[in-house]
Structure 1
Amino acid sequence: MKLVIDDACYAYDKIFSQFGEISALPGRSIDKASVQDTDVLIVRSRTKVNQALLEGSKVKFVGSTVAGLDHVDQDYLAKNNITFFSAQGCNSMAVAEFVISAIVNLADELDFDYTQKTLGIIGVGNVGSRLAAKAELMGIKTLLNDPLRQSNENLPHFVGLDTALSADIVTFHTPLTFDGQHPSYQLLNETNFHNISEKTILFNAARGGVIKEKIWEKTQTMVNIIDCWENEPNINQNLQECAYWATPHIAGHSVDAKFMGSFMVYEALCDFSGQTQDESIVNLIAPGILKVKKDNLKDTLNEIYDFKQDTAAITNVDNFEDYRRNYPIRYEWHHFDSTTVLPIV
């Protein structure tokens, strides 16, 4: 088999070499010519997988090692009998840790007790569920909004969107969808932005386009934390300048998340091709026990990984893509032996 793989996919050479000849390219450089004689295409979010890319190619399997889906035309793949697999949930722990780290830092710097705040979580899927579990472990009251889950699972404790938007801290964890009964594109817009006040801490660690940025940049909040932007890497610099953390879509970029994205696609490709899994691959991440000896949660989390360095890295926005592609090593909390108890669930 011939494989074209985004060269930002974690350990692609070690994980996918058993399947055949690999051509590794930057995601934005994967084009129609490069996939013509390809059997397998493995991408991250920077490659638009659609008819324009695949028409006339030999591609029969597409794997996406990230959780987002808006870069893939799934209808086209299905109509053309192209198997598709997406690593849903691979980065959920990393994103939840990103949000909790921001809240803990803000509580210290702005002198508030996060156990006295409400956290509105909009989208309670893989990420939102993990975040809610961590928040509840820390004594933070959560307001959960997810109309799809609420209608399908009859969850009486879930709340309406306006209620969730009225929380002290509001964070979005929806996919980016444009149709269906509950599209998420510009979910926060001119009809409901009045729920956001100058006392709101507002996150977008979901997808660019979930919040209408032209309104957001004119709305006074207490704090903005923005990891996902419209038109990446050409981000809204007005919002960038007013954000507490303005990061280049890296909330989910832990080593663990990137490995799991590749590994989940690897498992699916083994099933597709009828090949046996190499049992050693699951052990690729083995940093040993990492120790942190700090006497408070903020310092502990910042020693594990300080997201402020990500904000500093894109002060010059021209560094956005390069920094994402060459992101520093960041392990998730479960690898650490910590003096301070971490909210690990």
Structure 2
Amino acid sequence: MKIVADQNIPALSDVLSGAGTLSYFSERIPPEELLAEADALLVRSVTNVDESLLRKAPKLKFVASATIGTEHININALTERGIGFAHAPGANAQSVGEYVLCAVLNWLNDQSLSSFDEIDVAIVGAGHTGKAAGKRLEALGLNVHYYDPPLCKKGVKFVHDHWQRVLTADIISCHVPLTFEGEFPTRHLFENTALQSLHAQQLLINASRGAVVDNQALLNRVEQGERPSLVLDVWENEPEVLRELVLYIDIATPHIAGHSLEGKVGGAVMIANALLKHFGYEANKTLFEVLPPVEWPECKAEELNKFETLCAWVKEHFDLSHDDSMFRKHGLTSNGFDRLRRNYRKERPRREFINQVVTCHNSEQYIQFLQLGFNARQLPK
């Protein structure tokens, strides 16, 4: 079997050992000579698997994307050709949740608040990443609610469909797929009218897809002054970014919210197992069989349960200001944007909070640190 894969999907050589010949590509589109012989194609969100690509891959039997989203895949075209498909929903959800937590901690640190229980948070999209972000913000004591009209229509109880409640929230965090049609399209969900309603005491985060927020309308809004705080990890028309808009963004990063090592390897393991199963091989690799260990010293809950100490720990282990600085220096061109994503923290990969053991003396501490994403362990009484 000949497998063609994006070189930025990690650990494939370990997980797919013995399954066939593995060839890598480095650009957004695989070379024609690799496509011509490929039995399987493994991609990320930067590669559009459309009719044009499929015509160059006559032997293709299986396609997988190491991502949650599938808008870059023409699934109907795959189905018509009898080509199997898999993706990785939830693989990088914890990573995105930690990105949002870090962004919110930065914002809260600038607010000089005595308590957080009156801070209202609207999570837009109650899927894997939305819930991962929401549970972390709940653990901080914020009032979190989930806006998800499609789930609401299905009768799911913990979501709502009140758009005005979203627009009046103190913190708004986007976690929806990019959809163009249907009853609830998400392209330009935040368009001119919605953006005009936002004010300087609010925080808007987009770690979903760039076109969920109309970038030109956002630029028009922020140029008026009295703008909300803004965190953008995704950009309309990536890898090109609206350079004028970047000047107004508080935290700007090159689509790396889900790029922890756990998130990237988790997606790789999911699609590799799907490939193996599709072709009749044994498929039982696990994430922790592939990941290298982390040597972080154990912490006590008392050391992290104050806001200041938690912020300090987070800054040490996931400093968003570093990613922001690198983006502003090197990511404002298409090539620079792609290069930053491709080489993101290559020398020292970002690791998730689950690698930090936190010992807790009571169930309240245990639940809080578990929700924050740590490896919480309750000491016996």
Q: Check whether TM > 0.5.
A: yes
Deviation at 1:246, TM superposition (A): 0.3
Deviation at 1:280, TM superposition (A): 7.1
Instruction: Within 5 Å, give how 1:319-338 maps onto structure 2.
Output: 319-328=336-345, 329-338=349-358
Query: Is 1:274 the counterpart of 2:280 in the alignment?
Result: yes
Matches of 1:232 and 1:45 in 2, distance apart?
11
The aligned amino acid for 1:102 is A
> Taking structure 1 as reference, are residues 339 and 312 closer, same or farther at Cα in structure 2, changes over 3 Å only?
farther
SS in 1 for 2:64: strand
Which piece of structure 1 moves more, 14-23 or 151-160?
151-160
The aligned amino acid for 1:23 is S
**Partner of 1:215 in structure 2?**
217
- For structure 2, the residue ranges without an aligned partner over 5 or more in a row are 375-381
Quick one: percent identity of the two aligned structures? Answer: 28
Residues 3-24 of structure 1: per-residue CA shift (max 9 Å, x gap): 1100000122222232211110
**Partner of 1:116 in structure 2?**
118
Deviation at 1:67, TM superposition (A): 1.3
Matches of 1:92 and 1:204 in 2, distance apart?
14
The aligned amino acid for 1:38 is A
Q: What is the RMSD of the two structures over their aligned residues, measured on CA atoms?
A: 2.0
**Partner of 2:44 in structure 1?**
44
SS in 2 for 1:321: helix
Deviation at 1:122, TM superposition (A): 0.6
**Partner of 1:25 in structure 2?**
25
Residues 285-331 of structure 1: per-residue CA shift (max 9 Å, x gap): 13244137665110011111101111111223243211211111111
Instruction: Within 5 Å, give how 1:154-193 maps onto structure 2.
Output: 154-155=156-157, 158-193=160-195
The aligned amino acid for 1:55 is R
Instruction: Within 5 Å, give how 1:64-213 maps onto structure 2.
Output: 64-112=65-113, 113-155=115-157, 158-213=160-215
Matches of 1:109 and 1:192 in 2, distance apart?
25
Residues 145-165 of structure 1: per-residue CA shift (max 9 Å, x gap): 101111113426524122112
> Taking structure 1 as reference, are residues 259 and 238 closer, same or farther at Cα in structure 2, changes over 3 Å only?
same
Matches of 1:20 and 1:282 in 2, distance apart?
23
Which piece of structure 1 moves more, 68-77 or 134-143?
134-143
Residues 230-286 of structure 1: per-residue CA shift (max 9 Å, x gap): 111211112211111100000000000001100000111121011013647741113
The aligned amino acid for 1:203 is I
The aligned amino acid for 2:247 is E
CA contact (8 A) 1:224 1:245 kept: yes
**Partner of 1:284 in structure 2?**
290
CA contact (8 A) 1:8 1:27 kept: no
Matches of 2:256 and 2:97 in 1, distance apart?
12
Which piece of structure 1 moves more, 331-340 or 247-256?
331-340
CA contact (8 A) 2:273 2:284 kept: no
> Taking structure 1 as reference, are residues 14 and 190 closer, same or farther at Cα in structure 2, changes over 3 Å only?
same
The aligned amino acid for 2:97 is A
> Taking structure 1 as reference, are residues 80 and 299 closer, same or farther at Cα in structure 2, changes over 3 Å only?
same
**Partner of 2:377 in structure 1?**
none
The aligned amino acid for 1:175 is P
Deviation at 1:128, TM superposition (A): 0.7
Deviation at 1:37, TM superposition (A): 1.4
Deviation at 1:27, TM superposition (A): 4.2
The aligned amino acid for 1:225 is V
> Taking structure 1 as reference, are residues 60 and 26 closer, same or farther at Cα in structure 2, changes over 3 Å only?
same
Structure 1 stretches of at least 4 aligned residues deviating more than 6 Å after TM superposition: none
The aligned amino acid for 2:327 is I
CA contact (8 A) 2:78 2:85 kept: yes
**Partner of 1:62 in structure 2?**
63
Matches of 2:186 and 2:286 in 1, distance apart?
40
Which piece of structure 1 moves more, 189-198 or 223-232?
189-198
Matches of 1:281 and 1:96 in 2, distance apart?
18
Aligned residues: 345
Matches of 1:42 and 1:244 in 2, distance apart?
34
Which piece of structure 1 moves more, 251-260 or 213-222?
213-222
CA contact (8 A) 1:292 1:303 kept: no
> Taking structure 1 as reference, are residues 175 and 194 closer, same or farther at Cα in structure 2, changes over 3 Å only?
same
* Counterpart among 244, 251, 257 of residue 245 in structure 1: 251
Deviation at 1:339, TM superposition (A): 8.0
Matches of 1:140 and 1:65 in 2, distance apart?
32
CA contact (8 A) 1:289 1:337 kept: no
CA contact (8 A) 1:64 1:86 kept: yes
Deviation at 1:111, TM superposition (A): 2.0
